[in-house]
Amino acid sequence: MTTQPPENSLPTPPPGCPAHAGIGGVRRLYGPEAEADPAGLYEKLRAEHGEVAPVLLYGDVPAWLVLGYSANLTVMRTPSRFSRDSRRWSAFRTGQVAPDNPVLPVVHWQPICVFADGQEHRRLRAPVTEGLNRFDRRGIRRHVTRFADQLIERFSTTGRADLVTQFAEHLPMLVMTQLLGMPEEYGPRLVDAARDMVRGTETAIASNEYVVSCLRRTMDRKKGAPGHDLVTWLMDHPAGLTDDEVLEHLRAVLLAGNETTVNLISDTLKMVLTDKRFRAHLSGGQMTLPDALDQVLWDSPPFLLMAGRWATGDTELGGRKINEGDMLLLGLAAGNADPAVRPDLSKPLFGNHSHLAFGSGPHECPGQDIGRAIAEAGIDILLTRLPDLHLAVPDEELTWRSSWIARHLVALPVRFTPQSVKASPAASPSTPIASTPDPAATATAASPATATAASSAEPAAPPTPDIGLGALPRQRRRWWYVLTGKSRR
C-alpha cells in the first residue's frame, strides 16, 4: 500500500466529476476502511448510492464503482458505450493522475487485447483464445499432479504446513510455465518474481524484467524448435502478431492467470477448512469440488473489482450521469452480492456459473477454464493425499492483505497426520522442485538492464525484497513505465 498524501496536497476534483456526486461525501477505495472490510464498504456504498457509486482512487482520483449485477453486465457487454481503451480517461489527460500513482500499472494502455475494442480487439484476442482452448483438462491435470505431488512431498512428513505460501502460491505458476513451453527450471524463480510484483516491493521492477527476459528467451528458442505450447501457437497464428504483441500477451496470461488461480485455490481451501457446512457437504457427497469452486467464485472472486471501462460519450447508468472519459470500475464482488440476484447470501449456489468473477462480454476471461482446472485438480490431490487436514489456528486469526482490486489470504496454517515420503504413481519423472536453488538464497540482484539483455546465458534470477537491494537502482518516479512495458526495448 502507498502512504496517503497530506490532505492539502490532494487534487481538487473539478465540478461535474464523480467526486461531487452522491450523498454524504465520497468514499475512498484505499486506506484503512477499504482494506479492512471491502465487502462492508461495498454495502455502505450500495445503501448510499444504489447500483453505481462515486469513489476515489489513490491520489483521490475520481471514478465510478459499479455495484449492481445487472449494471455490471451492461458495462461489460456494451463496448460502444464503455470502452476498454484507457487512453480515453479524462483524469489522465487532464493531469489528475500522478506518474507514480499505483493505479497506473493496471490501467495504463498497452497494445494488447485487454485495452482494445472492435476489430483490433478481435485480431489480438483470437490467437490467445484459440491457443488456450487447445489445452485439454487431462493434459493440464498431468502437470498439476506432478507439481502438486512435489510440493506436498516437501511438507508431508512434518505434519504441518502453510497452504498459501507452500502450496497455492506455487502451483499455478509451475503449471503455467509448462503450458507456455518454458524450461522447467524457470518455474520456481518465476513464482518468487510474480509474488514480488504483486506485493509491490522495491524490487518489483527487476522482478518484472526477469519475467520479460524469461519470456523473450523462450520465444527465441521456440522460433527454432516449435512445440505444443502457447508461445509457439501465438507466434504461428495467422493473425500475424508481432514479437512485442506476443510477448505482452504471454506476460498478461502468465501473471493474470497465476494471480487469479492462487486466490481461487487459497480461498477454496480456506472455505473447506473453516466452513463446517461446506466440509460436510463435500465429504458427504452432496457437493462436488466444481460446485465448491463455483460457490467461492460467487462469495470470494479472485479480483474484487476490475479496472476498468471508460465512457465513450455522455451517458447514464444506474440513474447516474456518466461523463465522457469517466472511469468505471467493475465491482465483481459487489455485483455477486447484489440483493437483486442473491437476496440470501447464505444460500448455496452449487452449479450456478452466472457469477461475475471472470467477467462477461467480449472481454470475458479467456483462460478461466484453465484456472479452474488447475485449482480443481490441485485441491483434489491435496485433500486426497492429506485427508485429515485441519486448521492449526482459530478462524479469527486468519488475515488478509488487501489492495484496491484484490484481497489475498496471507497464510493458511494447517496440521495433519505426517505422511511417509512416497511419490504418486501419476507423477512423471522429473527434477524435483526442491532441487532447484532457492532464489532467496542464491540469486544475485540484477539490474533491469541486465535482466533484459538478450544473451546466451540463462536469465538472471530475480532479486528478492530482502537480498541484493544495494545493487538495484532506486526508482521513485515512473516505475510503472517498466511494469507496463514502456521502458522495454
Q: How many CB atoms lie within 10 A of CB 50?
A: 15
Q: How many CB atoms lie within 10 A of CB 28?
A: 17
In this predicted structure, what is the pLDDT of residue 366?
A: 94
For residue 180, what is its C-alpha cell?
507456455
Contact 241, 235 (CB under 8 A): yes
Contact 372, 260 (CB under 8 A): no
Cα distance between residue 249 and residue 234, in whole Å: 9
* CA distance readout (Å), 38 to 19, 32, 84, 129, 400: 19, 10, 24, 32, 11
Spans of all domains in the chain: 116-304+354-483
In this predicted structure, what is the pLDDT of residue 421?
A: 65
Residue 341 phi/psi, 5° resolution?
Answer: -115, -20
With residues binned 3-state (H G I as helix, E B as strand, rest as coil), the percentages for the chain, rounded to 5, are: 50, 10, 40
Residue ranges in the chain whose pLDDT is less than 50? 1-24, 423-456, 464-489
* CA distance readout (Å), 414 to 76, 148, 268, 396, 409: 39, 17, 14, 14, 14
- Per-residue pLDDT reduced to its tens digit, 108-152: 898 899 999 999 999 999 999 999 999 998 999 999 999 999 999
Contact 84, 116 (CB under 8 A): yes
In this predicted structure, what is the pLDDT of residue 458?
A: 59
In this predicted structure, what is the pLDDT of residue 201?
A: 65
In this predicted structure, what is the pLDDT of residue 104?
A: 86
Cα distance between residue 77 and residue 391, in whole Å: 41
In this predicted structure, what is the pLDDT of residue 16?
A: 41
Cα distance between residue 218 and residue 247, in whole Å: 10
**Closest of 54, 68, 60 to residue 16, by C-alpha:** 54
DSSP type of residue 392: S
Cα distance between residue 84 and residue 125, in whole Å: 13
Task: Report the topology of domain 116-304+354-483.
Answer: Cytochrome p450 (1.10.630)
Contact 86, 320 (CB under 8 A): no
Handedness of CA 70, 76, 81, 87 (dihedral sign): positive
